[in-house]
């Protein structure tokens, strides 16, 4: 048993290691949005006067910046309220354009923003197969090949898992779909800005993005649509964005999204290396101080800022209650509705172990001192509960 060390941090503010749930707006993002709240407040669809033209030009510039960040040449961007809406537009829109029946494939560890639309499509008459990952959280091209049926028309696989951070082999999966003429969608909300992401090079047809995961504003995201993909809209009225997503475009949020993307891509490798080093230090420290601690998901390939752990034998409710005032983290997705992680249970963890798990996600401002404090906090709580 590890000896308890003196507590020196009771008066300090809680540490924040929940950056996969959301991130604060970067100062550069706030600055980029500022003029479009009041000074350039026009509707980008109102091109009969200078205010509208100015807003329209800003939106076009933002599209160009995002296209550059994603290396897009043969795809278009449809702005949405976030990745959840983008997922719904990709899945429901593609399926309903396809017809009234057919087969879709996804993975049991997907975010609810993919799983719930798939359940809706089942209610509408479509068939859905969910692949089960291995204990490392990964699926293989052979698994996908085996699951394909003659009428499979859409496959959806998350780029980077929102709970365990593992990176699926998108290029191999997409290549298999391309051979069969099957559309391939990926929820890249966690991947974009945290790992290199070039949808066209990877062979992706539909890609969902979110701004607030990369120090951008909440309420804005996008769906990347490869040229030739056909979708039915989910909403009608106004005809904006080629009729795929009507409604007045939120110019300030779009400008913030583009600024956040440019900022993330500009120092991507340096940021990845720094956060990966800190994440590895966190894992090594926890292994040393918390006997029996387990890592959930493959160690690699993995997001550089993600560590998901289970401390077997602890009461999950008491674990999170003891940490709440000291460490901001989670037991899974921010959208899990308080239920034990379906991702961890799909990997073979028991319900009790899933509850006794922590998703620790580092931010751009996380320091070595923060890591040392986190190791101390978790080890102290684990010791006291045992």
Q: Which CATH number fits domain 15-24+268-385: 3.40.50.720, 3.10.129.10, 3.30.70.20, 3.90.1150.10?
A: 3.90.1150.10
Q: 183 φ, ψ to 5°? A: -70, 140
Same fold, 15-24+268-385 and 27-266: no
Exposed / middle / buried, residue 368 (Cβ in 10 Å: 0-12, 13-18, 19+) = exposed
pLDDT beyond 90 at 42: yes
Confidence band (pLDDT; 50, 70, 90) for 7?
very low
335: annotated active-site residue: yes
pLDDT of residue 10: 45
Q: Which is higher by pLDDT, 333 or 75?
A: 75
What pLDDT score does 133 carry? 97
* Of the candidate ranges 63-67, 156-160, 175-179, 334-338, the one whose mean pLDDT is the lowest: 334-338
Rounded CA gap, 234 and 247, in Å?
Answer: 12
How far, in Å, CA of 265 to CA of 276, rounded? 16
Domain boundaries of the chain, sorted by first residue: 15-24+268-385, 27-266
Mean pLDDT of 325-353: 83
Q: What confidence tens digit (pLDDT) does each residue in 98-140 have?
A: 999 999 999 999 999 999 999 999 999 999 999 999 999 999 9
pTM of the model: 0.93
Q: What span, in angstroms and rounded, lies between the C-alpha atoms of 187 and 161? A: 9
In degrees and rounded to multiples of 5, residue 268 shows phi and psi of -60, -50
Query: Distances from the Cα of 27 to the Cαs of 30, 33, 269, in angstroms?
Result: 5, 10, 21
C-alpha count within 13 angstroms, C-beta hemisphere, residue 240: 20
In CATH terms, 27-266 corresponds, of 3.30.1180.20, 3.40.640.10, 3.40.10.10, 3.40.50.410, to 3.40.640.10
Angle at the Cα of 192 (from 220 to 45), degrees rounded to 5? 30
Read off the tokens for 178.
């391309």
- Owner of token pair 């090949």: 145
Contact status, residue 61 vs residue 44, Cβ threshold 8 Å: no
In this prediction, residue 3 carries a pLDDT of 41
- The residue written with tokens 């028991």 in the block is 350
């Amino acid at each position: 048993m590890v000896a308890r060390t003196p507590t020196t941090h009771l008066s300090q503010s809680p540490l924040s290691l929940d950056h996969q749930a959301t991130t604060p707006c970067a100062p550069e993002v706030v600055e980029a949005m500022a003029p479009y709240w009041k000074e350039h407040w026009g509707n980008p669809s109102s091109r009969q006067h200078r205010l509208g033209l100015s807003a329209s030009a800003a939106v076009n510039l933002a599209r160009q910046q995002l296209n550059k960040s994603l290396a897009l040449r043969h795809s278009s961007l449809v702005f949405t309220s976030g990745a959840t809406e983008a997922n719904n537009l990709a899945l429901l829109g593609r399926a309903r354009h396809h017809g009234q029946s057919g087969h879709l494939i996804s993975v049991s560890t997907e975010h609810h923003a993919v799983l719930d639309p798939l359940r809706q499509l089942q209610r509408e008459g479509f068939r859905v197969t969910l692949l089960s990952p291995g204990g490392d959280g990964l699926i293989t091209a052979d698994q996908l090949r085996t699951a394909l049926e003659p009428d499979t028309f859409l496959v959806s696989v998350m780029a980077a898992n929102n709970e365990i951070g593992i990176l699926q082999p998108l290029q191999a999966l997409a290549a298999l779909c391309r051979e069969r003429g099957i559309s391939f969608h990926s929820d890249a909300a966690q991947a974009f800005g945290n790992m290199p992401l070039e949808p066209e090079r990877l062979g992706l047809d539909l890609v969902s993005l979110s701004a607030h995961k990369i120090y951008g504003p909440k309420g804005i995201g996008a769906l990347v649509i490869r040229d030739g993909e056909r979708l039915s809209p989910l909403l009608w009225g106004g005809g904006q964005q080629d009729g795929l997503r009507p409604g007045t475009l939120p110019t300030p949020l779009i400008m913030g999204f583009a600024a956040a993307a440019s900022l993330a891509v500009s120092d991507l490798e340096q940021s990845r290396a720094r956060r990966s080093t800190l994440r590895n230090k966190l894992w090594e420290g926890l292994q040393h101080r918390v006997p029996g601690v387990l890592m959930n998901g493959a160690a690699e390939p993995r997001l550089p800022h993600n560590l998901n752990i289970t401390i077997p034998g602890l009461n999950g409710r008491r674990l999170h209650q003891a940490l709440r005032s000291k460490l901001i983290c989670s037991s899974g997705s921010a959208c899990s509705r308080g239920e034990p992680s379906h991702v961890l249970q799909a990997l073979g963890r028991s319900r009790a172990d899933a509850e006794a798990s922590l998703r620790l996600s580092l931010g751009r401002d996380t320091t070595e001192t923060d890591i040392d404090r986190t190791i101390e906090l978790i080890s102290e709580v684990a010791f006291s509960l045992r």
